[in-house]
Structure 1
């Protein structure tokens, strides 16, 4: 199914980009792309977003298995019939697996995208994180519009 291929492409791009960072940059090294806004900064994270739950690898392994099971269930149930949802779930699968592979083989997640929003330094992230966030936002958008469509259908 094409939506699983999206997840595989995300996984490959994520792991390739992380491999390039690990091989070419020291941890803490930074390359300015857009002055004051966008940098490539080699970073490692043993936790989740904003370094929450650092060092809790078994927790992340368990969460990954549960998330993948739920996402695959919904891919089979809804994703096959709703292309928008299928793409979103494919992005979630790819992002989930990208960070899982890091934790499994490195014991930490490689992060490298560093954005500044004015004076705020947004936590460094990676392609897997981006894929997860985009996929989740698409699911929220679908859910909001689908519930509005159901309300219109029920009242009409």
Structure 2
């Protein structure tokens, strides 16, 4: 059974992940609490929304019962269960995901903070509160018909940036030829088994 010192060392080993996840979660929940208190639900249009940059950026209050782009709308319970499974999988795979690396902790801190933020929304409100609304100066057939990007929130930003950062970092992770692997091979050769 680990003593207090060993437990503290284990917790400190992932301190960046905890701090980043906590900051994303608090920022996400704080902004959503303000939106919930100050804007009526489904305030997608002026004058109920807040115009930040005319014709481009608005603060709205949307209840998204699905995932990104409203996909899987009506399956909030399934999406909440998926969030719990994802966090558990990250915990179980923490060694293979190299979560002791500081940059990986930042990436997964962003991801976990975002997942927890949206999970809390689903549990409390039955939907995710989205409020950042951008209108792009172009349209894409079948994707952005009117140039309006689907509304999103801070948690979504954390998830997207975390996943994107992990994908980029995964191209730079050790492939068996890194200096740490070389050290372990040398030490094994220096002390042959008897």
TM-score (norm 2): 0.72
Which residue is 2:76 aligned to? 57
Partner of 1:122 in structure 2?
149
Contact 1:75 1:86 in 2 (8 A): no
Q: Which of 11, 16, 19 is 1:2 aligned to?
A: 16
Q: Deviations over 1:26-79 (max 9, x none)?
A: 121321112222111111111111111111122112201111012223445511
CA–CA separation in structure 1 for the residues paired with 2:159 and 2:79 = 15
> Contact 2:107/2:166 (CA < 8 Å) preserved in 1?
yes
More helix by share: 1
- Report the secondary structure of 2:72's partner residue: coil
User: What is the CA distance between 1:128 and its match in structure 2?
Assistant: 0.3
Residue 145 of structure 1 corresponds to 172
SS at match of 1:36: coil
CA distance in 2, matches of 1:38, 1:126: 13
Aligned to 1:150, what secondary structure does the other structure show?
A: coil
The alignment yields a C-alpha RMSD, in angstroms, of: 1.8
Kindly indicate whether residue 124 of structure 2 is the aligned counterpart of residue 105 of structure 1: yes
Max radius of gyration: which structure? 2
Moved more, 121-130 or 49-58: 49-58
**Are the structure 2 counterparts of residues 118 and 152 from structure 1 closer, same or farther at C-alpha, using a change threshold of 3 Å?**
farther
Q: 1:23-38 residue pairs with structure 2 within 5 A?
A: 23-27=37-41, 28=43, 29-38=48-57
Which residues of structure 2 form unaligned runs of 5+? Answer: 1-14, 139-146, 179-194
Matched, 1:12 2:49: no
Whole-angstrom CA distance in 2 between matches of 1:53 and 1:85: 29
Structure 2 CA distance for aligned equivalents of residues 64 and 14 of structure 1? 16
Q: How much has 1:151 moved relative to structure 2?
A: 8.5
Give 1 or 2: higher strand fraction: 1
**Residue 108 (structure 1) shift:** 0.6
Unpaired runs of at least 5, structure 1 = none
